[in-house]
């Protein structure tokens, strides 16, 4: 029998995706266990998704028995469901104070802090979970994701690797390990791990997108286009898939095919600035400079800070003999972080 | 290759089956005797030009073409038209006539396959041309077989070069410079000042000094013309340089100094010599021979270029066979020295002809034309840099600047952005025209964006940018300094001497003069030198400027007007080339040249002059400290002068600290101007 309530898990990871509930058996109740009764009622209401009613029961349980750690924990979990993250953290704090050896409270608080956009504090709590329960794969995975998001890909890779060791069937962990490898330039390994993630979970469509991108880096444009096409067969309405396949086709020198894909992406999402920018690049290669300028301008109209679009519009304007406009665009791109813009301006007689 | 060969032969065979050779006979023109008569008359005229020695192809061509209007299916006539075109300005037009000649009669002439190769070659149909050249191999034992084989081998190499170069075209716009310069007559040989403000060129238009046609080669005699760029950036209507420079015969310009104050002309004197003229005020003086150190009695000198320091002249000559690499080579001569001209060596000169030398104002890059190296046909334009004591391997400027025909006489602006050359293109005003190339630099790859949901557990995709690769900065490493020298009081222009000094080496690099009428001057300052620039004129205080241009400093253009002050009591001059260690009164060695100028002024030029040397600072720091520092610095200069023979009684020193600013102290530039050493005339 489990000694704790685990009301929720990581819905996105698919690991412990539903609430696991337990009750304190009535046969073992001492005569006046009022707190436990409220507690059990709260658990039942939680399972019925009657969260506010559940909270009232947990409140009563705690009023009766202020050191009832499990009640704090369950109320925290219920508040999390109601997106009341700050009170949830307070309850987790109490649960941890009363019983610091229970890893679920640490894990729950980590998730609540993550929801509060406190990644550093969440990372600390995940770390505590990995100490208390090293075979708990979700903690490794979630900490890895946080580390990935802050750009520490090497540490993320170690965490995802640990998650796959603890649970070799953990498709998400294989997937994200591949992404970390990709960011570290280990592209061939990334392709292998994305493939493993797809083997474990053929419905993990996103792995097709990412494997395709990795193949592009390996200059396997044909393989990349196949993956994108496979993805688009499953998700015909996703402009991101068309954007990706257009990239593969562009890199293969198939500029008109890239334009066609990007036009399709824009049919699905007319305000897709990235597709406009990339179509500008493809038009540039097709020497259709007016269309390139128009698309880059449309991308800039959607996002005035879009450095790449300024750079590309500069290229188009250069070929349209609008040197002043090109110089202004390259300089703007440089100002927004693409330093090559400065060199382009210097090379082109910009005053 | 075989594929092209067989395709070409099949096509010709098919055409052969459709057409038949038609002779100019009565039988063939039974119903049109008048046309036949006219055609035969044209043919007679054409053949007289064609068969003369040397043949006069351009004169023969219009008559052949008239005959061809009557009978387009005569193999020999088509062959001769093709042959004339191959020897004309419009070489690429030869191809359809040669193809027709071969189609009508594959035996029309023993040279037909070679000619077809030439026609295809000149139309940049590289692979087909190679196939024809291979089919044109002479029979073993034929007369001049080895020479022919060598020629064919060279032509095939050129086609292979063209094929390779065309795969990576040079990014550039090529524009006709327009009707202010170009006419329906031939224009060529453009030369420019470093700042592109003036262009001189050669034209064979009417309205020249002689305004007559050359009876031997046809067309008007060459004259030199000039166009000036207006304030709107457009070239103004060209004007003839006038009878001082232009004669009734052929006069062609080959070089202009970067400041536009000297020009070199080509004169048909002996085998062909180079002459030089100076701009005096607004008029050029009469060109005179550059002398025997350059012009050989029996040799042909065809091109020249000034190095930016004006002391080294590069030129092209076919003289000195013992030290030549073959044909016309490029040489250089220290015009102020007494030595012989030096051949540029085998990295630059080939066994084939070189011509059209140009030295960029950066002083280290030359552009020239050559029939050797990896030319794609005829002369191609090449670039080479002086690096680590030697010339780099010449680099072909590439397609479409170079073509299978002759590409020669190319000049480049100091900025490196614009080149000028002559060419016959579809948009020409007629014949050869002058074109401007705008170099666009290396390829600028567009940048793609992508977004990928890198974390499976996160809903939002992560935006990824495929970074633009770093690009080399290819701007010219030279600064153009230009302006006007005037009398500070009357504001009238002055012809003054402008001396460039390498402060680190304490050596004079070059000396120029401002124009006597306009006072204008222009100097090229290649990067990598701390320049002292001294402007002098008798009766005036010298003016000094400093330009410290570190190696790699990119192109810039600086306008600096210089008002010279008369040597009167109370006149002040800033000594811009006196340098102190930071926060100290220790003179740095780069100050030596300026200090020596001061010594010379005091001891040789004006031995009675009495001056005050003063130090000045900006307002950073405490006033007392600044005053003390400025005084110590002034004293350091006075000490130097007295140690070098100037009587102490003629010198006073003063430290004014920040009390006499010449610019606001609110900007970095202003503070720099305020930190200075001055001298003031106390008595003379």
Summarised one tens digit per residue, pLDDT across range B505-519 is 888 888 889 998 999
In this prediction, residue B558 carries a pLDDT of 85
What's the CATH number where B135 sits? 1.25.40.10
Distance CA B525, CA B352 (A): 34
In this prediction, residue B508 carries a pLDDT of 86
Q: Which residue has the higher pLDDT, A163 or B281?
A: A163
Residues B590, B495 share a domain: no
Contact assignment for B441 to A315 by CB distance below 8 Å? no
Distance CA B483, CA B561 (A): 5
Distance CA B20, CA B27 (A): 14
Q: Is the pLDDT of residue B371 over 60?
A: yes
Residues B214, B334 share a domain: yes
Mean pLDDT of the A144-158 span:
96
Q: Tell me if A272 is assigned to some domain.
A: no
Nearest chain A residue to B416 by CA distance is A349
Which one of A175, A243, A308 has the shortest CB-CB distance to B451? A243
In this prediction, residue B475 carries a pLDDT of 60
Q: Does any CB of chain A come closer than 8 Å to the CB of residue B451?
A: yes
Give helix A119-132 / helix A103-115 axis angle, nearest 10°: 160
Lowest model confidence (mean pLDDT) among A102-116, B158-172, B471-485, B522-536: B471-485
Which one of B448, B454, B471 has the shortest CB-CB distance to A278? B448
Q: Is the pLDDT of residue A7 over 60?
A: no
The range of the structural domain enclosing residue A303 comes to 291-351
What residues in B contact A346, CB-CB < 8 Å? Answer: 473, 475, 554
The range of the structural domain enclosing residue B621 comes to 569-684
Nearest-CA distance A149 → chain B (Å): 9
Distance CA B34, CA B44 (A): 15
Nearest chain A residue to B413 by CA distance is A349
Distance CA B128, CA B124 (A): 9
Q: Tell me if B342 is assigned to some domain.
A: yes
Distance CA B638, CA A139 (A): 79
Q: Does any CB of chain A come closer than 8 Å to the CB of residue B446?
A: yes
Residues B577, B560 share a domain: no
Mean pLDDT of the A170-185 span:
96
Q: Which residue has the higher pLDDT, B584 or A193?
A: A193
Mean pLDDT of the B193-219 span:
89
Nearest-CA distance A70 → chain B (Å): 28
DSSP string of A297-348? HHHHHH-TT-HHHHHHHHHHHHHTT-HHHHHHHHHHHHHTT-THHHHHHHHT
In this prediction, residue B326 carries a pLDDT of 73
Token representation of residue B444: 């600028």
DSSP secondary-structure letter at B92?
G
Compute φ and ψ for B355, nearest 5 degrees: -160, 175
Which one of A12, A213, A344 has the shortest CB-CB distance to B457? A12
Contact assignment for B173 to A348 by CB distance below 8 Å? no
User: A41: number of CA atoms within 13 Å, CB side?
Assistant: 16
Q: Tell me if B265 is assigned to some domain.
A: yes
Q: Tell me if A114 is assigned to some domain.
A: yes
B359 bridge partner residues: B366
Instruction: Mutate one of A343, A344, A350, A351 to test the B interface: name it (highest B CB count within 10 A).
Output: A343
Nearest chain A residue to B451 by CA distance is A240
- In sign, the C-alpha dihedral spanning A40, A43, A47, A51 is positive
A-B C-beta contacts closer than 8 Å: 109
Distance CA B355, CA B368 (A): 6
DSSP string of A239-297? HHHHHHHHHHHHHTT-HHHHHHHHHHHHHH-TT-HHHHHHHHHHHHHTT-HHHHHHHHH
What's the CATH number where B267 sits? 2.120.10.30
Banded pLDDT at A196 (limits 50, 70, 90): very high
Q: Is the pLDDT of residue B17 over 80?
A: no
**pLDDT tens across B242-299, in order?**
999 999 888 999 999 989 999 999 988 778 899 999 999 889 999 999 988 999 888 8
Q: Is the pLDDT of residue A26 over 70?
A: no
Q: Tell me if A29 is assigned to some domain.
A: yes
Which one of A240, A247, A277 has the shortest CB-CB distance to B461? A240
In this prediction, residue B684 carries a pLDDT of 84
Q: Is the pLDDT of residue B31 over 90?
A: no
Banded pLDDT at A332 (limits 50, 70, 90): very high
Distance CA B59, CA B48 (A): 10
Q: Tell me if B102 is assigned to some domain.
A: yes
Contact assignment for A347 to B474 by CB distance below 8 Å? yes
In this prediction, residue B641 carries a pLDDT of 94
Boundary residue ending a domain (B167, B195, B221): B167
Overall domain count for chain A: 2
Nearest-CA distance A23 → chain B (Å): 31
In angstroms, how far is the first alpha carbon of chain B from the final one? 86
Which one of B417, B440, B463 has the shortest CB-CB distance to A318? B440
**pLDDT tens across B540-559, in order?**
988 988 888 887 777 888 88
Distance CA B50, CA B69 (A): 18
Contact assignment for B451 to A274 by CB distance below 8 Å? yes
Residues B217, B183 share a domain: yes
Q: Which residue has the higher pLDDT, A254 or B539?
A: A254
Distance CA B258, CA B192 (A): 7
Banded pLDDT at B18 (limits 50, 70, 90): low
DSSP secondary-structure letter at A72?
H
Cα angle vertex B532, ends B528, B534, to 5°?
Answer: 145
**Mean of pLDDT over chain A:** 89
Banded pLDDT at B217 (limits 50, 70, 90): confident
Q: Tell me if A91 is assigned to some domain.
A: yes
What residues in B contact A347, CB-CB < 8 Å? Answer: 441-442, 471, 473-475
Contact assignment for A148 to B440 by CB distance below 8 Å? no
What residues in B contact A152, CB-CB < 8 Å? Answer: none
Banded pLDDT at B323 (limits 50, 70, 90): low
Contact assignment for A149 to B455 by CB distance below 8 Å? yes
Which one of B448, B457, B468 has the shortest CB-CB distance to A145? B457
Q: Does any CB of chain A come closer than 8 Å to the CB of residue B465?
A: yes
Residues B588, B554 share a domain: no
Nearest-CA distance A199 → chain B (Å): 15
Mean pLDDT of the A301-317 span:
97
Boundary residue ending a domain (A133, A151, A178): A133
Q: How many CB atoms lie within 10 A of CB B649?
A: 8
- In sign, the C-alpha dihedral spanning A276, A281, A284, A289 is positive
Residues B528, B419 share a domain: no
Report yes or no: B382 and B394 within 8 Å, Cβ to Cβ.
Answer: yes
What's the CATH number where B551 sits? 2.60.40.2190
So what's the ipTM on this one?
Answer: 0.80
Q: Tell me if B466 is assigned to some domain.
A: no
Reduced to 3 states (helix: H, G, I; strand: E, B; else coil), residue B544 is strand
Distance CA B83, CA B87 (A): 7
Q: Is the pLDDT of residue A3 over 60?
A: no
Q: Is the pLDDT of residue B474 over 60?
A: no
Distance CA A255, CA A350 (A): 29
Nearest chain B residue to A280 by CA distance is B446
Distance CA A132, CA A99 (A): 12
In this prediction, residue B461 carries a pLDDT of 53
Distance CA A97, CA A109 (A): 12
Q: Tell me if B282 is assigned to some domain.
A: yes
**Mean of pLDDT over chain B:** 89
User: B272: number of CA atoms within 13 Å, CB side?
Assistant: 18
In this prediction, residue B464 carries a pLDDT of 53
Banded pLDDT at B11 (limits 50, 70, 90): very low
Nearest chain B residue to A243 by CA distance is B450
What residues in A contact B443, CB-CB < 8 Å? Answer: none
Banded pLDDT at A27 (limits 50, 70, 90): very low
Q: Does any CB of chain A come closer than 8 Å to the CB of residue B167?
A: no
Overall domain count for chain B: 4
Name the most confidently modeled range: A277-286, A342-351, B557-566.
A277-286
Q: Is the pLDDT of residue B334 over 80?
A: yes
Distance CA A303, CA A81 (A): 35
Q: Is the pLDDT of residue B3 over 70?
A: no
Boundary residue ending a domain (A99, A133, A167): A133
Q: Which residue has the higher pLDDT, B74 or A339?
A: B74
Contact assignment for A210 to B452 by CB distance below 8 Å? yes
Nearest chain B residue to A249 by CA distance is B448
Contact assignment for B455 to A148 by CB distance below 8 Å? yes
Contact assignment for A206 to B453 by CB distance below 8 Å? yes
In this prediction, residue B297 carries a pLDDT of 80
Residues B194, B74 share a domain: no
Residues B587, B560 share a domain: no
Contact assignment for A210 to B454 by CB distance below 8 Å? yes
Which one of B417, B441, B468 has the shortest CB-CB distance to A338? B468
Banded pLDDT at A271 (limits 50, 70, 90): very high
Banded pLDDT at B90 (limits 50, 70, 90): confident
Mean pLDDT of the B85-114 span:
94
Contact assignment for B446 to A176 by CB distance below 8 Å? no
Contact assignment for A344 to B457 by CB distance below 8 Å? no
In this prediction, residue B463 carries a pLDDT of 53
Residues B425, B320 share a domain: yes
Q: Does any CB of chain A come closer than 8 Å to the CB of residue B173?
A: yes
Boundary residue ending a domain (A77, A111, A133): A133
Residues B579, B504 share a domain: no
Banded pLDDT at B431 (limits 50, 70, 90): confident
Distance CA A210, CA A213 (A): 5
Instruction: Mutate one of A164, A284, A348 to test the B interface: name it (highest B CB count within 10 A).
Output: A348
Instruction: Mutate one of B172, B450, B456, B474 to test the A interface: name it (highest A CB count within 10 A).
Output: B456
The position carrying tokens 């007679």 is B44
Q: Which residue has the higher pLDDT, B431 or A79?
A: A79
Cα angle vertex A242, ends A236, A247, to 5°?
Answer: 160
Boundary residue ending a domain (B528, B551, B566): B566
Q: Tell me if B243 is assigned to some domain.
A: yes
Instruction: Mutate one of A206, A321, A323, A331 to test the B interface: name it (highest B CB count within 10 A).
Output: A206
What residues in B contact A344, CB-CB < 8 Å? Answer: 441, 444, 471
Cα separation values, B249 from B88, B252, B434, Å: 22, 10, 22
Token representation of residue B230: 């207006």
**pLDDT tens across B601-613, in order?**
899 988 999 999 9
In this prediction, residue B428 carries a pLDDT of 83
Contact assignment for A145 to B455 by CB distance below 8 Å? yes
In this prediction, residue B322 carries a pLDDT of 64
Q: Is the pLDDT of residue B10 over 50?
A: no
Boundary residue ending a domain (B137, B167, B197): B167
Q: Is the pLDDT of residue A172 over 70?
A: yes
Mean pLDDT of the B402-429 span:
89
Report the length, in residues, of chain B.
Answer: 684
Q: How many CB atoms lie within 10 A of CB A300?
A: 23
What residues in B contact A206, CB-CB < 8 Å? Answer: 453, 456
In this prediction, residue B359 carries a pLDDT of 95
Nearest chain A residue to B474 by CA distance is A347
Contact assignment for B456 to A204 by CB distance below 8 Å? yes
In this prediction, residue B333 carries a pLDDT of 94
Residue B647: cis peptide before it, omega within 30 degrees of 0: no
Residues B578, B496 share a domain: no
Banded pLDDT at B415 (limits 50, 70, 90): confident
Q: Tell me if B146 is assigned to some domain.
A: yes
In this prediction, residue A17 carries a pLDDT of 33
In this prediction, residue A154 carries a pLDDT of 97
% of chain A exceeding 90 in pLDDT: 80
In this prediction, residue B532 carries a pLDDT of 87
Lowest model confidence (mean pLDDT) among A231-240, B197-206, B383-392, B569-578: B569-578
Q: Tell me if B463 is assigned to some domain.
A: no
Distance CA B106, CA B108 (A): 6
Q: Tell me if A348 is assigned to some domain.
A: yes
Mean pLDDT of the A45-58 span:
91
Instruction: Residue B658: name the closest of B610, B609, B601, B620 by CA.
Output: B620
Q: Does any CB of chain A come closer than 8 Å to the CB of residue B455?
A: yes
What's the CATH number where A77 sits? 1.25.40.10
What residues in B contact A348, CB-CB < 8 Å? Answer: 417, 440-441
Q: Is the pLDDT of residue A300 over 80?
A: yes
DSSP secondary-structure letter at B446?
-
In this prediction, residue B143 carries a pLDDT of 83
Q: Is the pLDDT of residue B102 over 80?
A: yes
Report the length, in residues, of chain A.
Answer: 351
In this prediction, residue B285 carries a pLDDT of 93
Q: Which residue has the higher pLDDT, B416 or B460?
A: B416
Residues B577, B485 share a domain: no
Q: Tell me if A341 is assigned to some domain.
A: yes
Mean pLDDT of the A80-106 span:
93
């Amino acid at each position: 029998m489990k000694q704790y309530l685990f009301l929720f898990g990581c819905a996105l990871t698919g690991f412990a995706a539903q609430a696991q509930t337990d009750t304190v058996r009535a046969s073992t109740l001492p005569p006046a266990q009022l707190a436990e009764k409220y507690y059990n009622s709260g658990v039942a209401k939680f399972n019925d998704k009657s969260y506010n009613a559940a909270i009232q029961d947990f409140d009563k349980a705690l009023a009766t028995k202020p050191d009832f750690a499990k009640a704090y924990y369950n109320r925290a979990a219920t508040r999390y469901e109601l997106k009341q993250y700050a009170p949830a953290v307070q309850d987790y704090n109490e649960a941890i104070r009363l019983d610091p050896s229970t890893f679920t409270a640490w894990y729950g608080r980590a998730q609540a802090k993550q929801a509060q956009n406190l990644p550093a504090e969440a990372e600390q709590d995940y770390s505590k979970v990995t100490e208390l329960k090293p075979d708990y794969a979700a903690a490794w995975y979630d900490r890895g994701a946080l580390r990935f998001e802050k750009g520490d890909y090497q540490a993320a890779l170690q965490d995802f690797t640990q998650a796959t060791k603890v649970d070799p069937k953990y498709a998400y962990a294989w997937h994200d390990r591949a992404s970390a490898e990709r960011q570290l330039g280990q592209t061939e390994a990334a392709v292998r791990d994305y493939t493993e993630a797809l083997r474990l979970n053929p419905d993990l469509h996103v792995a097709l997108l990412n494997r395709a991108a990795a193949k592009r880096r390996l200059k396997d444009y044909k393989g990349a286009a196949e993956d994108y096409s496979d993805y688009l067969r499953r998700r015909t309405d996703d402009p991101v898939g068309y954007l990706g396949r257009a990239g593969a086709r562009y890199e293969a020198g198939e500029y008109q095919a890239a334009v066609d894909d990007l036009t399709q992406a824009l049919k699905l999402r007319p305000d897709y600035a990235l597709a406009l920018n990339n179509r500008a690049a493809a038009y540039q290669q097709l020497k259709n400079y007016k269309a390139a300028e128009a698309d880059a301008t449309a991308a800039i109209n959607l996002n005035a800070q879009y450095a790449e679009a300024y750079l590309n519009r500069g290229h188009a304007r250069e070929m349209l003999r609008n040197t002043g406009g090109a110089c202004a665009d390259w300089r703007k791109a440089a100002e927004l972080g693409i330093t090559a813009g400065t060199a382009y301006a210097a090379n082109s007689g910009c005053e | 290759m075989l594929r092209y060969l067989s395709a070409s032969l099949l096509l010709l065979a098919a055409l052969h089956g459709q057409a038949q050779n038609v002779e100019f006979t009565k039988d063939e023109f039974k119903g049109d005797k008048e046309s036949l008569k006219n055609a035969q008359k044209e043919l007679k005229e054409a053949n007289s030009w064609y068969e003369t020695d040397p043949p006069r192809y351009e004169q023969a061509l219009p008559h052949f073409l008239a005959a061809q209007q009557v009978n387009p299916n005569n193999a020999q006539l088509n062959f001769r038209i093709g042959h004339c075109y191959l020897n004309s300005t419009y070489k690429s037009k030869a191809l359809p006539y040669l193809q027709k000649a071969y189609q009508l009669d594959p035996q029309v002439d023993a040279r037909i396959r070679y000619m077809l190769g030439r026609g295809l070659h000149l139309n940049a149909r590289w692979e087909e041309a190679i196939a024809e050249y291979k089919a044109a191999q002479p029979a073993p034992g034929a007369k001049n077989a080895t020479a022919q084989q060598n020629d064919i081998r060279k032509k095939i190499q050129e086609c292979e070069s063209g094929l390779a170069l065309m795969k990576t075209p040079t990014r550039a716009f090529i524009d006709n410079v327009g009707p202010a310069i170009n006419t329906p007559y031939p224009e060529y040989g453009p030369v420019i000042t470093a700042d592109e403000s003036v262009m001189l060129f050669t034209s064979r238009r009417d309205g020249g000094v002689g305004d007559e046609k050359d009876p031997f080669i046809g067309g008007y005699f060459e004259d030199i013309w000039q166009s000036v760029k207006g304030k709107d950036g457009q070239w103004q209507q060209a004007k003839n340089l006038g009878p001082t420079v232009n004669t009734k015969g052929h006069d062609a310009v080959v070089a202009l100094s970067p400041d536009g104050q000297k020009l070199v002309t080509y004169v048909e004197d002996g085998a062909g010599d180079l002459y030089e003229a100076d701009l005096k005020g607004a008029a050029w003086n009469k060109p005179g021979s550059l002398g025997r150190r350059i012009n050989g009695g029996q040799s042909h000198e065809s091109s020249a270029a000034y190095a930016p320091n004006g002391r080294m002249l590069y030129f092209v000559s076919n003289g000195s066979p013992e030290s030549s690499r073959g044909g016309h080579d490029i040489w250089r001569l220290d015009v102020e020295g007494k030595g012989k001209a030096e051949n540029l060596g085998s990295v630059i000169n080939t066994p084939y002809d070189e011509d059209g030398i140009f030295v960029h104002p950066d002083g280290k890059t030359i552009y020239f034309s050559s029939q050797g190296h990896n030319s794609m046909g005829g002369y191609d334009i090449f670039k080479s840099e002086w690096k680590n004591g030697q010339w780099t391997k010449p680099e072909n400027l590439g397609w479409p600047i170079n073509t299978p025909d002759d590409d020669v006489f190319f000049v480049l602006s100091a900025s490196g952005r614009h080149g000028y050359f002559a060419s016959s293109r579809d948009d020409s005003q007629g014949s050869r025209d002058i074109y401007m190339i705008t170099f666009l630099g290396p390829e600028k790859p567009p940048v793609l964006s992508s977004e990928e949901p890198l974390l499976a557990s996160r809903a939002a995709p992560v935006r990824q940018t495929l970074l633009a690769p770093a690009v080399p900065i290819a701007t010219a490493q030279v600064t153009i300094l230009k302006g006007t020298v005037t009398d500070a009081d009357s504001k009238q222009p002055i012809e003054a001497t402008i001396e460039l000094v390498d402060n680190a080496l304490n050596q004079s690099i070059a000396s120029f003069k401002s124009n006597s009428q306009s006072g204008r001057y222009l100097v090229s300052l290649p990067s990598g030198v701390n320049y002292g620039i001294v402007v002098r004129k008798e009766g005036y205080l010298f003016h000094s400027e400093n330009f410290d241009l570190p190696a790699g400093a990119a192109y810039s253009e600086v306008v600096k007007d210089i008002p010279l002050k008369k040597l009167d009591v109370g006149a002040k001059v800033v000594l811009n080339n006196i340098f102190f260690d930071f926060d100290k009164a220790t003179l740095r060695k780069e100050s030596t040249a300026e200090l020596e100028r001061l010594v010379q002024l005091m001891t040789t030029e004006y031995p009675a002059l009495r001056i005050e040397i003063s130090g000045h600072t900006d307002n950073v720091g405490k006033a007392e400290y600044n005053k003390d520092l400025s005084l110590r610095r002034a004293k350091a200069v006075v000490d130097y002068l007295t140690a070098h023979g100037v009587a102490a009684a003629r010198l006073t020193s003063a430290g004014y600290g920040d009390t006499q600013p010449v610019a606001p102290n609110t900007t970095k530039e202003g503070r720099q101007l305020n930190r200075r050493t001055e001298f003031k005339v106390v008595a003379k």
